[in-house]
Amino acid sequence: MFIATLIAAGRLGDDDLARAVEVAGGGEVKWIDPGDAADLLLGPVDDWRALRDRLEAALPGIDVVVQLAEEREKRLLVADMDSTMIGQECIDELADFAGKKAEIAAVTERAMQGEMDFEEALHARVAELNGLGTACIERCRTERVTHNPGARTLVQTMRARGARTLLVTGGFHDFADPVASELGFEEVRANHLESMYGHLTGRVTGAIVDASAKAQALVERREQLGLANAEVLAVGDGANDAPMIVEAGLGVSFRGKPKLEAQAAARIRHNDLTALLWAQGIPKAEWAAS
């Protein structure tokens, strides 16, 4: 059996649900949280992606997640960091301290759109930071980095219900480790910025966490836990998240770039990250306090 979850926090009405039933050609409506999220219970669906697209088109401003009812609640969360769990691209903000934000942000955008090889883009951007004092990293983190709404609630709720959590990013441990601690992630995969004598060298050390490494991290953690693919939720925003998103049982584009949206099972465009709790059928009364 398939479920179409309709999500529009504070804005979902009976008319929306009636329209969804009409577009789907039938189904039983069940509220998760009145006014916020509801399930449309369906029978077999020949083309669930086409149904999702029709519902999104008919219900502007409402996020739609269509999935199998079985194993709907996930046991592993794998998430990107920049522009997903947090609202910034850390390297762009750090570049501002070097007076190079505009040019580095342009490279970041090309990489996230899938127009430039991620590893090439990473090395090019980091090279521009050569000579920047390492004290700027902590200043940047504390002054510029903010959690995206719903991030902590998502992570804490899933952990409270027994799920495991992994933050995997093409960014840097200097930012990812504190963010993971603040949000509640158990494990981090990220890149390492090299420094000498209190200054960045413009180089990255160790293996690069790129698109394939993100997907591999998901597979490794899933296999370590003995989970089925259907029990994994992955969320990201950039083209470099696509292999990871495709590998997950429920792969979600969160306000993502077009190349990611084209491959993601679900697209969250209008709500915050708590939409991923409603997508799992978890009502607000069972969310962890943020």
Using CA atoms, how far apart are residues 148 and 20, in angstroms rounded to an integer? 29
Residues 6+ apart with CB under 8 A from 260: 236, 237, 238, 239, 241, 242, 245, 253
Using CA atoms, how far apart are residues 81 and 273, in angstroms rounded to an integer? 12
193 and 202 Cβ atoms separated by less than 8 Å: no
Is 80 noted as a catalytic residue in this protein? yes
Element (H, E) at 262: none
Phi/psi of residue 257, nearest 5 degrees: -75, 155
Using CA atoms, how far apart are residues 182 and 27, in angstroms rounded to an integer? 41
Taking alpha carbons only, the member of 263, 213, 268 closest to residue 239 is 263
Q: How far is CA 284 from CA 74, 95, 132, in A?
A: 17, 39, 44
Using CA atoms, how far apart are residues 4 and 24, in angstroms rounded to an integer? 9
Of the listed 16, 33, 80, 92, which one is catalytic?
A: 80
Residues in the chain: 290
Q: Which amino acid is at 142?
A: T
256 and 264 Cβ atoms separated by less than 8 Å: yes
CA-based Rg of the chain, rounded to a whole angstrom? Answer: 20
Element (H, E) at 174: helix 173-183
Of the listed 82, 92, 174, 237, which one is catalytic?
A: 82
Active site residues: 80, 82
